[in-house]
Amino acid sequence: MTHNNPPFPSADHDHKNCVSHALKNAEAYCQQQGLRLTKLRHQVLELIWANHQPVGAYELLDQLTHEGRKAAPPTVYRALDFLMENGLVHRISSRNAYVGCSNAGHEHTAQFLICESCGQVAELDNAQIGSVIAKGANQLGFTVAQWTLEISGTCDQCKHRSQDE
Amino acid sequence: MTHNNPPFPSADHDHKNCVSHALKNAEAYCQQQGLRLTKLRHQVLELIWANHQPVGAYELLDQLTHEGRKAAPPTVYRALDFLMENGLVHRISSRNAYVGCSNAGHEHTAQFLICESCGQVAELDNAQIGSVIAKGANQLGFTVAQWTLEISGTCDQCKHRSQDE
DNA sequence: ACTGTAATGTTATATTGTAACATAATGCAG
DNA sequence: CTGCATTATGTTACAATATAACATTACAGT
Ligand SMILES: [Zn+2]
Ligand SMILES: [Zn+2]
Ligand SMILES: [Zn+2]
Ligand SMILES: [Zn+2]
């Protein structure tokens, strides 16, 4: 069986599939919510997914330019703002980079596993982590609005790969 | 009884006390570890504590300059690097800002409560959060090297303050 | 087609962080 | 104490990330 929210994708997976799946999801979600997933926004989202690891704004800008679009920093940042506001993209603030959301549509605060070796990121949605955090904060009278958890380390595949050497 | 690791300091606390306490701690720690807490590093650490909320590198640079020291960006960043490497200061990456560590000396990965209203930050060291995170990651075969948790919201005092209006 | 709104283009600039090399301070061996 | 190696700081220039402000274009609804 396939995992419902696969952690790190295997090296040999069909990545075009990931991208098109994410895009279809996003299209449906925006349709349903009356959001305007314009050509630019669609293009940026596609690039983000195509990179399939956290990608910087200026890197996206380059890629947009190579695809023939006239773009300047605000072009990218505005698209990113839209995508983030609507939960289609997350920002990894420890890296100044952006990544597609694996659980778009259902309200969540994400947690990220960031592999220092291969650069890939897995998005968790571990309810237990969320509830422990909420509990810890509430004990101090703190009302949580949002939070980000960014975990660096080594993913399973990279661990095995390094053992083979 | 007072909490061993007080969350948000009360508005009327004697803050000079906080600062001098933190500095004495840092001095003792560096002495003991054979680390060179030079005048510059001491000065930067003092400024960070004096602000008593996350403060940006360029803000520190201004403050240093106003204290009469010749300083440029690398001056500040190098001092920050030293202080972070040795666990005396943490970086709040969601804000590009730096804050004094409340638990300097004992190895830990910190968690931050950031009040959006007053700007203050409380450092937690909640072992339960740490263990849930480790567990969640290990289940996926991920080896955790480090992590940061930054929680935004409203602190207890600000909640009460807003009720009074 | 007309019109108000939202999106994008465009230019300039702000903010945050580093590279690279010169000088000065510090600690230590002799 | 003196010279030497190491570490820290000064200095200049620049890279990387992000936003402000205003002009133009596309779009949706009438
Ligand atoms: Zn994929
Ligand atoms: Zn990996
Ligand atoms: Zn204080
Ligand atoms: Zn507050």
Cross-chain CB nearest to A7 (options B111, B133, B140): B140
Q: What is the mean pLDDT of residues A76-96?
A: 97
Residues B129, A136: C-beta atoms closer than 8 Å:
yes
φ and ψ of A134, to 5 deg: -60, -40
Of B23 and B107, the structure prediction assigns the larger pLDDT to: B23
pLDDT for B165 = 63
pLDDT for A2 = 38
pLDDT at residue B74 tops 70: yes
Of A111 and A110, the structure prediction assigns the larger pLDDT to: A111
Question: A93 CA to C15 C1', in Å?
Answer: 15
Q: Over the stretch A7-30, which tens digit does the pLDDT of each residue have?
A: 788 878 888 999 999 999 999 999
List A residues 116-155 in contact with B (Cβ-Cβ < 8 A). 116, 122, 124, 126, 128-129, 132-133, 136-137, 140-155
Domains of chain B: 13-103 (1.10.10.10), 108-165 (3.30.1490.190)
The b/e string for B147-157 (b: 16+ C-beta within 10 A; e otherwise) is bbbbbbbbbeb
pLDDT at residue A70 tops 70: yes
φ and ψ of B94, to 5 deg: -70, -5
The answer to whether A159 faces chain B, any CB pair under 8 Å, is yes
Tell whether A18 is in a known binding site. Answer: no
pTM of the entire predicted model: 0.91
Contacts of B120 in chain A (CB under 8 A): none
The CA distances from residue B118 to A79, A82, B8, B93, in Å, are 31, 28, 10, 18
Q: Is the CB of B80 under 7 A from strand D?
A: no
pLDDT for A32 = 94
Cross-chain CB nearest to B137 (options A113, A132, A142): A113
Q: Over the stretch B109-131, which tens digit does the pLDDT of each residue have?
A: 889 999 999 999 999 989 999 99
Q: What is the mean pLDDT of residues A74-89?
A: 97
Record the tokens describing residue B134, joined without a space: 């480790």
Which nucleotides of strand C come closer than 7 angstroms to any CB of the protein? 6-13, 15-20, 26-27
CA torsion A79-A82-A86-A92 (nearest 10°) is 60
Indicate the residue type of A2. Answer: T
Average pLDDT of the residues of chain B: 91
Q: Which residues contact B54 (CB under 8 A, 6 or more apart)?
A: B92, B95, B97, B98, B99, B114, B119, B121
Of B96 and A163, the structure prediction assigns the larger pLDDT to: B96
